[in-house]
Protein backbone atom coordinates (compact mmCIF):
# COMPACT_ATOMS: atom_id res chain seq x y z
CA UNK A 1 0.00 0.00 0.00
CA UNK A 2 2.61 2.53 1.04
CA UNK A 3 4.71 1.18 -1.79
CA UNK A 4 2.05 2.00 -4.36
CA UNK A 5 1.46 5.38 -2.76
CA UNK A 6 5.14 6.23 -2.89
CA UNK A 7 5.39 4.94 -6.43
CA UNK A 8 2.68 7.38 -7.39
CA UNK A 9 4.82 10.26 -6.25
CA UNK A 10 5.58 11.34 -9.78
CA UNK A 11 3.67 14.50 -10.43
CA UNK A 12 2.31 13.41 -13.77
CA UNK A 13 1.68 10.36 -15.84
CA UNK A 14 4.44 9.54 -18.28
CA UNK A 15 3.08 6.70 -20.32
CA UNK A 16 5.39 7.23 -23.25
CA UNK A 17 8.84 5.76 -23.65
CA UNK A 18 11.90 7.94 -23.40
CA UNK A 19 12.32 8.32 -27.13
CA UNK A 20 14.49 11.22 -28.18
CA UNK A 21 12.50 11.50 -31.36
CA UNK A 22 9.11 12.52 -30.06
CA UNK A 23 6.01 11.69 -32.03
CA UNK A 24 4.31 15.04 -31.59
CA UNK A 25 0.54 15.20 -31.90
CA UNK A 26 -1.17 17.76 -34.08
CA UNK A 27 -3.26 20.08 -31.95
CA UNK A 28 -6.81 20.75 -33.08
CA UNK A 29 -8.06 23.51 -33.08
CA UNK A 30 -5.19 25.81 -34.06
CA UNK A 31 -6.45 29.05 -32.57
CA UNK A 32 -6.98 29.95 -28.92
CA UNK A 33 -7.55 33.00 -26.79
CA UNK A 34 -4.67 32.04 -24.49
CA UNK A 35 -1.68 29.73 -24.81
CA UNK A 36 0.30 28.90 -21.71
CA UNK A 37 3.63 27.14 -21.62
CA UNK A 38 4.74 25.66 -18.33
CA UNK A 39 2.56 24.12 -15.63
CA UNK A 40 3.88 25.80 -12.51
CA UNK A 41 1.48 27.15 -9.95
CA UNK A 42 1.09 30.63 -11.53
CA UNK A 43 0.56 29.22 -15.03
CA UNK A 44 -1.92 26.65 -13.76
CA UNK A 45 -3.91 29.14 -11.72
CA UNK A 46 -4.02 31.44 -14.77
CA UNK A 47 -5.22 28.57 -16.96
CA UNK A 48 -8.02 27.84 -14.49
CA UNK A 49 -8.91 31.54 -14.22
CA UNK A 50 -9.00 32.04 -18.01
CA UNK A 51 -11.01 28.89 -18.62
CA UNK A 52 -13.43 29.83 -15.83
CA UNK A 53 -14.39 33.04 -17.65
CA UNK A 54 -14.92 31.24 -20.93
CA UNK A 55 -11.61 31.82 -22.71
CA UNK A 56 -10.27 29.09 -24.96
CA UNK A 57 -7.03 27.80 -23.48
CA UNK A 58 -4.16 25.67 -24.74
CA UNK A 59 -1.79 24.68 -21.94
CA UNK A 60 1.44 22.90 -22.83
CA UNK A 61 4.56 21.84 -20.97
CA UNK A 62 7.93 20.67 -22.32
CA UNK A 63 8.22 18.10 -19.53
CA UNK A 64 6.39 14.80 -19.29
CA UNK A 65 5.11 15.85 -15.86
CA UNK A 66 3.28 18.81 -14.37
CA UNK A 67 4.91 21.48 -12.26
CA UNK A 68 7.67 23.31 -14.18
CA UNK A 69 9.64 25.23 -11.54
CA UNK A 70 7.06 24.15 -8.95
CA UNK A 71 7.63 20.44 -9.58
CA UNK A 72 7.91 17.54 -7.20
CA UNK A 73 10.83 15.54 -8.55
CA UNK A 74 11.84 11.95 -7.83
CA UNK A 75 15.12 12.17 -5.95
CA UNK A 76 16.91 10.22 -8.67
CA UNK A 77 16.02 12.94 -11.19
CA UNK A 78 16.94 15.92 -9.02
CA UNK A 79 20.46 16.53 -10.32
CA UNK A 80 19.37 16.37 -13.95
CA UNK A 81 16.48 18.72 -13.17
CA UNK A 82 18.90 21.21 -11.59
CA UNK A 83 21.43 20.97 -14.42
CA UNK A 84 19.57 20.23 -17.63
CA UNK A 85 21.62 19.59 -20.75
CA UNK A 86 21.61 22.63 -22.98
CA UNK A 87 19.84 20.89 -25.82
CA UNK A 88 18.47 23.53 -28.19
CA UNK A 89 14.82 22.93 -29.02
CA UNK A 90 14.40 20.97 -32.22
CA UNK A 91 12.83 23.73 -34.22
CA UNK A 92 11.71 22.44 -37.57
CA UNK A 93 13.32 24.16 -40.53
CA UNK A 94 10.13 25.79 -41.70
CA UNK A 95 10.20 28.95 -43.75
CA UNK A 96 11.24 31.82 -41.54
CA UNK A 97 8.88 34.35 -42.99
CA UNK A 98 5.87 32.62 -44.45
CA UNK A 99 2.39 34.13 -44.60
CA UNK A 100 3.68 37.54 -43.55
CA UNK A 101 4.98 36.18 -40.26
CA UNK A 102 8.26 36.67 -38.49
CA UNK A 103 9.51 33.90 -36.26
CA UNK A 104 11.31 34.90 -33.07
CA UNK A 105 13.06 31.97 -31.43
CA UNK A 106 12.30 31.28 -27.80
CA UNK A 107 15.04 29.80 -25.64
CA UNK A 108 15.06 28.32 -22.19
CA UNK A 109 17.60 28.86 -19.47
CA UNK A 110 18.48 27.20 -16.22
CA UNK A 111 17.45 29.13 -13.13
CA UNK A 112 19.55 26.91 -10.84
CA UNK A 113 23.26 27.08 -10.13
CA UNK A 114 25.96 26.20 -7.61
CA UNK A 115 24.67 22.67 -7.06
CA UNK A 116 26.49 20.78 -4.28
CA UNK A 117 25.59 17.25 -3.26
CA UNK A 118 27.03 15.17 -0.45
CA UNK A 119 26.31 11.81 1.09
CA UNK A 120 24.75 8.76 -0.51
CA UNK A 121 21.17 8.55 -1.63
CA UNK A 122 19.53 5.89 0.52
CA UNK A 123 17.58 3.08 -1.09
CA UNK A 124 14.96 2.93 -2.36
CA UNK A 125 15.67 6.22 -4.15
CA UNK A 126 12.34 6.16 -5.94
CA UNK A 127 10.53 6.49 -2.63
CA UNK A 128 11.76 10.07 -2.20
CA UNK A 129 10.08 13.09 -3.75
CA UNK A 130 11.76 16.49 -3.69
CA UNK A 131 9.84 19.75 -3.91
CA UNK A 132 11.58 22.48 -5.88
CA UNK A 133 9.70 25.21 -3.99
CA UNK A 134 10.66 24.11 -0.50
CA UNK A 135 10.42 24.99 2.30
CA UNK A 136 6.84 25.98 1.54
CA UNK A 137 3.53 25.55 3.33
CA UNK A 138 -0.03 26.75 3.05
CA UNK A 139 -1.57 28.67 5.90
CA UNK A 140 -4.97 27.12 6.60
CA UNK A 141 -6.55 30.54 6.05
CA UNK A 142 -4.40 31.36 3.04
CA UNK A 143 -5.95 32.62 -0.17
CA UNK A 144 -4.43 29.60 -1.90
CA UNK A 145 -6.78 27.43 0.12
CA UNK A 146 -9.74 29.62 -0.80
CA UNK A 147 -8.76 29.46 -4.47
CA UNK A 148 -8.67 25.68 -4.24
CA UNK A 149 -12.13 25.67 -2.72
CA UNK A 150 -13.56 28.17 -5.21
CA UNK A 151 -12.13 26.50 -8.27
CA UNK A 152 -12.85 22.94 -7.22
CA UNK A 153 -9.16 22.15 -7.02
CA UNK A 154 -9.69 20.93 -3.48
CA UNK A 155 -11.21 17.77 -4.94
CA UNK A 156 -7.76 16.77 -6.11
CA UNK A 157 -5.44 17.54 -3.21
CA UNK A 158 -5.07 16.09 0.24
CA UNK A 159 -3.18 17.77 3.05
CA UNK A 160 -1.45 16.94 6.27
CA UNK A 161 -0.79 19.25 9.17
CA UNK A 162 2.57 20.60 10.12
CA UNK A 163 1.47 19.21 13.43
CA UNK A 164 4.78 19.60 15.21
CA UNK A 165 4.42 23.38 15.06
CA UNK A 166 7.36 25.75 14.91
CA UNK A 167 10.65 25.80 16.77
CA UNK A 168 12.89 28.82 17.26
CA UNK A 169 16.64 28.40 17.34
CA UNK A 170 17.98 30.73 20.00
CA UNK A 171 21.37 30.75 21.73
CA UNK A 172 22.12 27.17 20.82
CA UNK A 173 18.75 25.69 21.79
CA UNK A 174 15.45 24.92 20.08
CA UNK A 175 12.40 26.46 21.72
CA UNK A 176 8.75 25.84 20.82
CA UNK A 177 7.18 28.92 19.28
CA UNK A 178 4.24 30.10 21.39
CA UNK A 179 1.98 31.21 18.57
CA UNK A 180 -1.31 31.60 20.43
CA UNK A 181 -2.60 32.39 23.88
CA UNK A 182 -3.23 28.71 24.56
CA UNK A 183 0.31 27.89 23.48
CA UNK A 184 1.66 30.54 25.84
CA UNK A 185 -0.22 28.94 28.70
CA UNK A 186 1.08 25.48 27.90
CA UNK A 187 4.66 26.49 27.25
CA UNK A 188 7.09 25.22 29.86
CA UNK A 189 10.17 27.05 28.62
CA UNK A 190 8.88 30.60 29.01
CA UNK A 191 9.41 32.57 32.17
CA UNK A 192 6.33 34.01 33.79
CA UNK A 193 7.37 37.53 32.89
CA UNK A 194 7.83 36.53 29.26
CA UNK A 195 4.41 34.88 29.26
CA UNK A 196 2.75 38.02 30.57
CA UNK A 197 4.43 40.25 28.02
CA UNK A 198 3.56 37.96 25.11
CA UNK A 199 0.02 37.44 26.31
CA UNK A 200 -0.54 41.18 26.57
CA UNK A 201 0.93 41.66 23.11
CA UNK A 202 -1.29 39.02 21.53
CA UNK A 203 -4.32 40.47 23.27
CA UNK A 204 -3.46 43.89 21.88
CA UNK A 205 -3.00 42.52 18.36
CA UNK A 206 -6.20 40.46 18.49
CA UNK A 207 -8.17 43.50 19.65
CA UNK A 208 -6.71 45.54 16.81
CA UNK A 209 -7.50 42.85 14.24
CA UNK A 210 -11.08 42.57 15.51
CA UNK A 211 -11.54 46.35 15.52
CA UNK A 212 -9.99 46.68 12.06
CA UNK A 213 -12.27 44.05 10.53
CA UNK A 214 -15.30 45.53 12.31
CA UNK A 215 -14.17 48.91 11.02
CA UNK A 216 -14.01 47.71 7.42
CA UNK A 217 -17.45 46.14 7.82
CA UNK A 218 -19.06 49.26 9.26
CA UNK A 219 -17.35 51.64 6.79
CA UNK A 220 -15.12 53.41 9.21
CA UNK A 221 -17.04 53.19 12.44
CA UNK A 222 -15.00 51.02 14.72
CA UNK A 223 -13.95 50.97 18.31
CA UNK A 224 -11.03 53.30 17.77
CA UNK A 225 -9.72 52.79 21.26
CA UNK A 226 -8.70 49.18 20.57
CA UNK A 227 -7.04 49.92 17.24
CA UNK A 228 -3.33 50.49 17.10
CA UNK A 229 -2.65 54.14 16.22
CA UNK A 230 -1.63 54.96 12.65
CA UNK A 231 1.75 56.28 13.70
CA UNK A 232 2.50 52.95 15.37
CA UNK A 233 1.32 51.01 12.31
CA UNK A 234 3.81 52.85 10.15
CA UNK A 235 6.67 52.25 12.57
CA UNK A 236 9.18 49.52 11.88
CA UNK A 237 7.63 46.50 13.57
CA UNK A 238 10.76 45.96 15.63
CA UNK A 239 10.38 49.45 17.11
CA UNK A 240 6.76 48.79 17.94
CA UNK A 241 7.72 45.57 19.70
CA UNK A 242 10.34 47.42 21.70
CA UNK A 243 7.69 49.96 22.68
CA UNK A 244 5.57 47.10 23.96
CA UNK A 245 8.44 45.98 26.13
CA UNK A 246 9.25 42.70 24.38
CA UNK A 247 12.75 41.45 25.20
CA UNK A 248 15.06 40.27 22.37
CA UNK A 249 14.01 36.61 22.42
CA UNK A 250 10.31 37.47 22.36
CA UNK A 251 10.91 39.95 19.56
CA UNK A 252 12.59 37.17 17.61
CA UNK A 253 9.59 34.91 18.20
CA UNK A 254 7.16 37.50 16.90
CA UNK A 255 9.26 38.84 14.02
CA UNK A 256 10.83 35.72 12.52
CA UNK A 257 8.68 32.82 13.70
CA UNK A 258 5.19 34.33 13.54
CA UNK A 259 5.40 37.35 11.23
CA UNK A 260 7.88 35.38 9.05
CA UNK A 261 10.20 38.33 8.49
CA UNK A 262 13.23 37.40 6.40
CA UNK A 263 15.78 40.11 7.03
CA UNK A 264 17.56 41.31 10.12
CA UNK A 265 15.45 44.02 11.71
CA UNK A 266 18.19 45.13 14.10
CA UNK A 267 20.93 45.53 11.54
CA UNK A 268 22.22 48.70 9.94
CA UNK A 269 20.80 47.59 6.59
CA UNK A 270 18.92 49.93 4.29
CA UNK A 271 15.38 50.47 5.49
CA UNK A 272 13.67 48.88 2.49
CA UNK A 273 14.09 45.57 4.32
CA UNK A 274 12.41 46.80 7.47
CA UNK A 275 8.96 45.35 8.04
CA UNK A 276 6.33 47.80 9.23
CA UNK A 277 3.96 47.11 12.06
CA UNK A 278 1.12 47.02 9.55
CA UNK A 279 2.83 44.33 7.50
CA UNK A 280 3.78 42.30 10.55
CA UNK A 281 0.26 42.35 11.94
CA UNK A 282 -1.11 41.29 8.55
CA UNK A 283 0.87 38.06 8.75
CA UNK A 284 0.04 37.58 12.41
CA UNK A 285 -3.65 37.94 11.52
CA UNK A 286 -3.29 35.27 8.83
CA UNK A 287 -1.38 33.04 11.24
CA UNK A 288 -3.98 33.46 13.99
CA UNK A 289 -6.97 32.84 11.74
CA UNK A 290 -5.26 29.72 10.39
CA UNK A 291 -5.09 28.05 13.78
CA UNK A 292 -8.30 26.11 14.19
CA UNK A 293 -9.75 26.87 10.77
CA UNK A 294 -9.99 23.17 9.98
CA UNK A 295 -11.09 20.94 12.80
CA UNK A 296 -8.69 18.16 11.90
CA UNK A 297 -5.68 20.36 11.17
CA UNK A 298 -3.20 20.90 13.99
CA UNK A 299 -1.50 24.27 14.00
CA UNK A 300 -1.51 26.97 11.34
CA UNK A 301 0.07 25.13 8.41
CA UNK A 302 -0.88 22.35 6.03
CA UNK A 303 1.17 20.59 3.37
CA UNK A 304 -0.06 18.86 0.19
CA UNK A 305 0.41 15.10 0.23
CA UNK A 306 2.84 13.83 -2.40
CA UNK A 307 4.37 17.29 -2.70
CA UNK A 308 3.65 20.76 -3.97
CA UNK A 309 3.22 19.76 -7.62
CA UNK A 310 -0.19 18.45 -6.62
CA UNK A 311 -1.39 22.07 -6.46
CA UNK A 312 -0.73 23.00 -10.11
CA UNK A 313 -2.19 19.63 -11.13
CA UNK A 314 -5.38 20.49 -9.26
CA UNK A 315 -5.77 23.84 -11.01
CA UNK A 316 -4.96 22.27 -14.38
CA UNK A 317 -7.68 19.71 -13.84
CA UNK A 318 -10.11 22.57 -13.11
CA UNK A 319 -9.12 24.27 -16.34
CA UNK A 320 -9.54 21.01 -18.27
CA UNK A 321 -13.01 20.51 -16.84
CA UNK A 322 -13.84 23.96 -18.25
CA UNK A 323 -12.51 23.02 -21.66
CA UNK A 324 -8.80 23.83 -21.61
CA UNK A 325 -6.64 21.57 -23.78
CA UNK A 326 -3.61 19.93 -22.15
CA UNK A 327 -0.46 18.70 -23.88
CA UNK A 328 2.67 17.45 -22.13
CA UNK A 329 6.07 16.85 -23.78
CA UNK A 330 5.46 19.92 -25.95
CA UNK A 331 7.82 22.90 -25.80
CA UNK A 332 7.03 26.24 -27.37
CA UNK A 333 10.03 27.06 -29.54
CA UNK A 334 9.19 30.42 -31.10
CA UNK A 335 6.95 33.44 -31.13
CA UNK A 336 5.03 34.42 -34.23
CA UNK A 337 5.02 38.13 -34.97
CA UNK A 338 3.79 40.13 -37.90
CA UNK A 339 6.31 41.21 -40.53
CA UNK A 340 7.30 44.39 -38.73
CA UNK A 341 7.53 42.61 -35.36
CA UNK A 342 4.95 45.00 -34.01
CA UNK A 343 2.10 42.64 -33.24
CA UNK A 344 2.09 39.28 -31.58
CA UNK A 345 0.23 36.58 -33.52
CA UNK A 346 0.87 33.28 -31.84
CA UNK A 347 3.36 30.58 -30.95
CA UNK A 348 5.19 27.80 -32.73
CA UNK A 349 5.28 24.43 -31.01
CA UNK A 350 8.20 22.02 -31.14
CA UNK A 351 6.16 19.91 -33.54
CA UNK A 352 6.43 22.75 -36.03
CA UNK A 353 2.77 23.55 -35.71
CA UNK A 354 1.77 27.21 -35.50
CA UNK A 355 -0.92 28.17 -33.02
CA UNK A 356 -2.62 31.53 -33.24
CA UNK A 357 -3.52 33.20 -29.98
CA UNK A 358 -4.14 36.61 -28.50
CA UNK A 359 -2.02 36.02 -25.41
CA UNK A 360 0.99 33.85 -24.67
CA UNK A 361 1.98 33.14 -21.08
CA UNK A 362 5.26 31.42 -20.33
CA UNK A 363 6.96 30.14 -17.23
CA UNK A 364 10.07 31.83 -15.92
CA UNK A 365 12.47 29.29 -17.40
CA UNK A 366 12.05 30.93 -20.80
CA UNK A 367 14.10 33.94 -21.77
CA UNK A 368 12.03 36.90 -22.90
CA UNK A 369 13.35 37.90 -26.33
CA UNK A 370 12.40 41.57 -26.30
CA UNK A 371 13.89 42.09 -22.85
CA UNK A 372 17.18 40.48 -23.80
CA UNK A 373 19.17 43.22 -22.11
CA UNK A 374 22.59 42.25 -20.78
CA UNK A 375 21.92 40.21 -17.68
CA UNK A 376 23.20 42.05 -14.63
CA UNK A 377 23.72 39.22 -12.19
CA UNK A 378 25.14 41.36 -9.44
CA UNK A 379 21.87 42.92 -8.35
CA UNK A 380 19.56 39.96 -8.83
CA UNK A 381 17.91 38.32 -5.88
CA UNK A 382 18.53 34.69 -5.23
CA UNK A 383 17.47 32.06 -2.78
CA UNK A 384 19.75 29.31 -1.53
CA UNK A 385 17.84 26.09 -1.03
CA UNK A 386 18.91 22.93 0.72
CA UNK A 387 17.41 19.46 0.77
CA UNK A 388 18.44 16.96 3.43
CA UNK A 389 17.54 13.38 4.17
CA UNK A 390 17.80 12.69 7.88
CA UNK A 391 17.42 9.69 10.10
CA UNK A 392 14.90 10.92 12.63
CA UNK A 393 12.75 13.86 13.60
CA UNK A 394 14.32 17.04 14.93
CA UNK A 395 11.48 17.05 17.43
CA UNK A 396 10.77 13.74 19.11
CA UNK A 397 7.35 12.36 18.26
CA UNK A 398 6.59 14.92 15.55
CA UNK A 399 6.18 14.19 11.86
CA UNK A 400 6.28 17.63 10.28
CA UNK A 401 8.03 20.57 11.93
CA UNK A 402 9.11 24.09 11.00
CA UNK A 403 12.36 25.44 12.45
CA UNK A 404 13.29 29.14 12.30
CA UNK A 405 16.86 30.41 12.62
CA UNK A 406 16.61 34.19 13.15
CA UNK A 407 19.24 36.41 11.54
CA UNK A 408 22.57 36.27 13.41
CA UNK A 409 21.46 33.27 15.46
CA UNK A 410 23.88 30.99 13.61
CA UNK A 411 26.76 33.40 13.18
CA UNK A 412 27.34 37.12 13.08
CA UNK A 413 27.40 37.28 9.27
CA UNK A 414 23.92 35.73 8.90
CA UNK A 415 21.89 38.63 7.52
CA UNK A 416 18.64 36.77 6.82
CA UNK A 417 16.53 34.16 8.54
CA UNK A 418 17.00 30.52 7.62
CA UNK A 419 13.91 28.33 7.54
CA UNK A 420 13.87 24.57 7.78
CA UNK A 421 10.78 22.49 7.11
CA UNK A 422 10.95 18.83 8.06
CA UNK A 423 8.54 16.43 6.38
CA UNK A 424 7.85 12.80 7.16
CA UNK A 425 6.55 9.72 5.41
CA UNK A 426 2.99 10.63 6.33
CA UNK A 427 3.11 12.94 3.31
CA UNK A 428 4.23 10.05 1.08
CA UNK A 429 7.41 11.92 0.17
CA UNK A 430 9.88 9.50 1.78
CA UNK A 431 9.97 6.00 3.28
CA UNK A 432 8.92 5.47 6.89
CA UNK A 433 11.72 6.08 9.37
CA UNK A 434 13.32 8.86 7.35
CA UNK A 435 12.58 12.55 6.95
CA UNK A 436 13.17 15.16 4.26
CA UNK A 437 14.17 18.60 5.45
CA UNK A 438 14.04 21.67 3.22
CA UNK A 439 16.00 24.81 4.00
CA UNK A 440 16.13 28.22 2.39
CA UNK A 441 17.48 31.69 2.91
CA UNK A 442 17.33 34.72 0.60
CA UNK A 443 20.58 36.38 -0.41
CA UNK A 444 22.40 38.53 -2.90
CA UNK A 445 25.73 37.05 -1.85
CA UNK A 446 25.57 33.39 -2.83
CA UNK A 447 28.59 32.41 -0.79
CA UNK A 448 27.19 33.96 2.39
CA UNK A 449 23.77 32.40 1.78
CA UNK A 450 25.26 28.96 1.33
CA UNK A 451 27.32 29.42 4.45
CA UNK A 452 24.16 30.13 6.45
CA UNK A 453 22.42 27.03 5.13
CA UNK A 454 25.44 24.84 5.87
CA UNK A 455 25.69 26.26 9.37
CA UNK A 456 22.03 25.46 10.01
CA UNK A 457 22.56 21.92 8.74
CA UNK A 458 25.64 21.43 10.92
CA UNK A 459 23.77 22.80 13.91
CA UNK A 460 20.82 20.43 13.67
CA UNK A 461 22.25 17.26 12.11
CA UNK A 462 25.20 14.97 12.72
CA UNK A 463 27.34 13.96 9.78
CA UNK A 464 26.96 10.29 8.95
CA UNK A 465 30.68 9.49 9.07
CA UNK A 466 30.77 9.56 12.86
CA UNK A 467 28.42 6.63 13.28
CA UNK A 468 27.76 5.79 16.88
CA UNK A 469 29.32 8.97 18.16
CA UNK A 470 26.55 11.32 17.21
CA UNK A 471 26.60 14.77 18.73
CA UNK A 472 24.11 16.06 21.21
CA UNK A 473 22.13 19.23 21.45
CA UNK A 474 19.64 20.38 23.98
CA UNK A 475 15.93 20.38 23.26
CA UNK A 476 14.44 22.37 26.04
CA UNK A 477 11.18 20.47 25.96
CA UNK A 478 12.99 17.38 27.20
CA UNK A 479 14.83 17.16 30.47
CA UNK A 480 17.46 14.85 29.01
CA UNK A 481 19.78 15.48 26.13
CA UNK A 482 18.53 14.40 22.75
CA UNK A 483 20.54 12.80 19.98
CA UNK A 484 20.88 14.77 16.75
CA UNK A 485 19.40 13.25 13.60
CA UNK A 486 21.98 11.84 11.24
CA UNK A 487 22.42 13.61 7.93
CA UNK A 488 22.24 10.88 5.29
CA UNK A 489 22.29 12.97 2.12
CA UNK A 490 22.07 16.63 1.21
CA UNK A 491 21.92 18.91 -1.78
CA UNK A 492 22.40 22.67 -1.90
CA UNK A 493 21.60 24.86 -4.87
CA UNK A 494 20.94 28.46 -5.77
CA UNK A 495 17.81 29.62 -7.54
CA UNK A 496 17.38 33.06 -9.03
CA UNK A 497 14.18 34.95 -8.35
CA UNK A 498 12.29 37.09 -10.82
CA UNK A 499 8.82 38.54 -10.66
CA UNK A 500 6.37 38.15 -13.48
CA UNK A 501 6.40 40.56 -16.40
CA UNK A 502 3.58 41.98 -18.49
CA UNK A 503 3.25 42.94 -22.12
CA UNK A 504 2.21 40.91 -25.13
CA UNK A 505 4.27 38.10 -23.65
CA UNK A 506 3.64 37.33 -20.00
CA UNK A 507 6.25 35.64 -17.87
CA UNK A 508 5.12 34.11 -14.60
CA UNK A 509 6.81 34.51 -11.23
CA UNK A 510 9.30 31.97 -9.97
CA UNK A 511 9.08 30.33 -6.58
CA UNK A 512 10.22 33.03 -4.20
CA UNK A 513 11.97 32.97 -0.85
CA UNK A 514 8.79 33.12 1.21
CA UNK A 515 7.23 30.38 3.26
CA UNK A 516 3.85 30.64 1.53
CA UNK A 517 2.40 31.54 -1.87
CA UNK A 518 0.90 34.95 -1.10
CA UNK A 519 3.44 36.84 -3.14
CA UNK A 520 3.33 34.40 -6.04
CA UNK A 521 -0.46 34.44 -6.14
CA UNK A 522 -0.53 38.22 -5.80
CA UNK A 523 1.66 38.51 -8.90
CA UNK A 524 -0.49 35.94 -10.67
CA UNK A 525 -3.65 37.93 -10.01
CA UNK A 526 -2.00 41.06 -11.36
CA UNK A 527 -1.06 39.20 -14.52
CA UNK A 528 -4.65 38.06 -14.94
CA UNK A 529 -5.91 41.61 -14.41
CA UNK A 530 -3.47 42.90 -17.02
CA UNK A 531 -4.88 40.50 -19.64
CA UNK A 532 -8.56 40.59 -18.68
CA UNK A 533 -9.11 43.74 -16.61
CA UNK A 534 -12.89 43.37 -16.71
CA UNK A 535 -13.06 39.71 -15.74
CA UNK A 536 -13.29 38.29 -12.26
CA UNK A 537 -10.38 36.16 -11.09
CA UNK A 538 -11.68 32.65 -10.35
CA UNK A 539 -15.22 33.72 -9.47
CA UNK A 540 -16.80 32.15 -6.44
CA UNK A 541 -18.86 29.10 -7.37
CA UNK A 542 -16.66 28.46 -10.40
CA UNK A 543 -16.17 24.95 -9.04
CA UNK A 544 -17.98 22.45 -11.27
CA UNK A 545 -21.25 21.11 -9.97
CA UNK A 546 -20.76 17.41 -10.28
CA UNK A 547 -23.55 14.99 -11.02
CA UNK A 548 -24.46 13.38 -7.75
CA UNK A 549 -27.33 11.09 -6.96
CA UNK A 550 -27.07 12.05 -3.31
CA UNK A 551 -27.69 15.45 -1.80
CA UNK A 552 -24.38 15.92 -0.08
CA UNK A 553 -23.85 18.93 2.10
CA UNK A 554 -23.95 22.16 0.17
CA UNK A 555 -20.57 23.34 1.46
Smaller CB distance to other proteins: residue 201 or 306? Answer: 306
Told to check if 207 binds other proteins by CB under 8 A, we report no
Told to check if 136 binds other proteins by CB under 8 A, we report no
Question: Contact region for other proteins (CB under 8 A) — 307-315, 334-342, 455-463, 473-481?
Answer: 307-315
Among 2, 94, 96, 483, binds other proteins (CB under 8 A): 2
The DSSP code for 271 is G
Told to check if 473 binds other proteins by CB under 8 A, we report no
Binding-site string for other proteins from residue 526 to residue 545, where x marks contact by CB under 8 A and - marks none: ------------------x-
Least Å distance between CB 131 and other proteins?
15
Told to check if 322 binds other proteins by CB under 8 A, we report yes
The DSSP code for 70 is G
User: Rule CB under 8 A: which of 421-440 touch other proteins?
Assistant: 425-428, 432
Question: Contact region for other proteins (CB under 8 A) — 94-102, 299-307, 434-442, 504-512?
Answer: 299-307
Smaller CB distance to other proteins: residue 321 or 368? Answer: 321
Distance between CA 450 and CA 456 in Å, rounded?
Answer: 10
Least Å distance between CB 27 and other proteins?
7
Cα separations in angstroms, 503 against 184, 283, 368: 50, 31, 11
Question: Contact region for other proteins (CB under 8 A) — 103-111, 292-300, 340-348, 458-466?
Answer: 292-300
Smaller CB distance to other proteins: residue 58 or 410? Answer: 58
- Residues 6 or more apart whose CB falls under 8 angstroms from that of 54 comprise none
Smaller CB distance to other proteins: residue 4 or 86? Answer: 4
Using DSSP, state whether 317 is helix, strand or coil: helix
Told to check if 317 binds other proteins by CB under 8 A, we report yes
Using DSSP, state whether 457 is helix, strand or coil: helix
Among 179, 264, 310, 363, binds other proteins (CB under 8 A): 310
Least Å distance between CB 232 and other proteins?
35
Told to check if 4 binds other proteins by CB under 8 A, we report yes
Smaller CB distance to other proteins: residue 297 or 332? Answer: 297
Smaller CB distance to other proteins: residue 332 or 443? Answer: 332
- Residues 6 or more apart whose CB falls under 8 angstroms from that of 174 comprise 167, 168, 394, 395, 403, 473, 474, 475, 476
Label the pairing between strands 138-139 and 301-304: antiparallel
- Residues 6 or more apart whose CB falls under 8 angstroms from that of 262 comprise 273, 416, 417, 441, 442, 513, 514
Residue of 118, 171, 114, 160 lying closest to 137 (CA atoms): 160
Residue of 128, 202, 44 lying closest to 528 (CA atoms): 44
Told to check if 356 binds other proteins by CB under 8 A, we report no
Among 209, 238, 314, 510, binds other proteins (CB under 8 A): 314
Least Å distance between CB 386 and other proteins?
25
Residue 116 sits at φ, ψ, to 5 deg, of -130, 130
First to last CA, the chain: 31
- Residues 6 or more apart whose CB falls under 8 angstroms from that of 265 comprise 236, 237, 238, 255, 274, 275, 407
Among 121, 173, 207, 321, binds other proteins (CB under 8 A): 321
Told to check if 159 binds other proteins by CB under 8 A, we report yes
Residue 74 sits at φ, ψ, to 5 deg, of -60, 140
- Residues paired with residue 490 on neighbouring β-strands, in sequence order: 118, 388
Smaller CB distance to other proteins: residue 52 or 177? Answer: 52
- Residues 6 or more apart whose CB falls under 8 angstroms from that of 401 comprise 162, 164, 165, 166, 167, 393, 394, 395, 421, 422
Told to check if 158 binds other proteins by CB under 8 A, we report yes
Among 81, 112, 326, 532, binds other proteins (CB under 8 A): 326
Cα separations in angstroms, 132 against 65, 79, 512: 14, 12, 11
Q: What angle do CA 437, 111, 407 make, to 5 degrees?
A: 50
Among 27, 125, 210, 214, binds other proteins (CB under 8 A): 27
- Chain centroid to CA 514: how far? 7
Told to check if 352 binds other proteins by CB under 8 A, we report no
Least Å distance between CB 128 and other proteins?
14
Told to check if 12 binds other proteins by CB under 8 A, we report yes
Residue 410 sits at φ, ψ, to 5 deg, of -95, -45
DSSP structure string for 339-355: TTS-SEEEEEETTS-EE
Told to check if 549 binds other proteins by CB under 8 A, we report yes
Question: Contact region for other proteins (CB under 8 A) — 29-37, 101-109, 198-206, 546-554?
Answer: 546-554
In 406-515, DSSP assigns E strands to 418-423, 435-443, 462-463, 472-473, 482-483, 486-496, 505-507
User: Rule CB under 8 A: which of 208-267 touch other proteins?
Assistant: none
Told to check if 139 binds other proteins by CB under 8 A, we report no
Least Å distance between CB 307 and other proteins?
10
Contacting residues toward other proteins, per CB under 8 A: 1-2, 4-5, 7-8, 10-13, 15-16, 25, 27, 65-66, 140, 145, 148-149, 152, 154-161, 163, 294, 296-298, 302, 305-306, 310, 313-314, 316-317, 320-323, 325-330, 399, 425-428, 432, 544, 546-553, 555
Amino acid sequence: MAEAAADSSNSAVDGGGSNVQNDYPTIDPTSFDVVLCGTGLPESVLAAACAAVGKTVLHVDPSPFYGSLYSSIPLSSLTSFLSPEASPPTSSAAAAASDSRTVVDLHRRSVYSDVETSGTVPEPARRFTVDMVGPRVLYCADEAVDLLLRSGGSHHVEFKSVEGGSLLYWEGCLYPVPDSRQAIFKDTTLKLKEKNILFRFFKLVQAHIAAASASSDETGQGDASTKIPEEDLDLPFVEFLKKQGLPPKMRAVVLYAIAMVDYDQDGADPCDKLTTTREGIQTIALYSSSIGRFANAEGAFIYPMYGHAELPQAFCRCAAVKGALYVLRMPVVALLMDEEKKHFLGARLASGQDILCQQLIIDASYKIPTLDVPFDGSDSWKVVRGVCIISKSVKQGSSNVLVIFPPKSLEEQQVAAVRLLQLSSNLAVCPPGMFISYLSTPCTDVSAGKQSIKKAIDTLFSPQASDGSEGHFETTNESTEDVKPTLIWSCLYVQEITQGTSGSLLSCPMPDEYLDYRNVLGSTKKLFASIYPDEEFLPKKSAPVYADDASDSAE
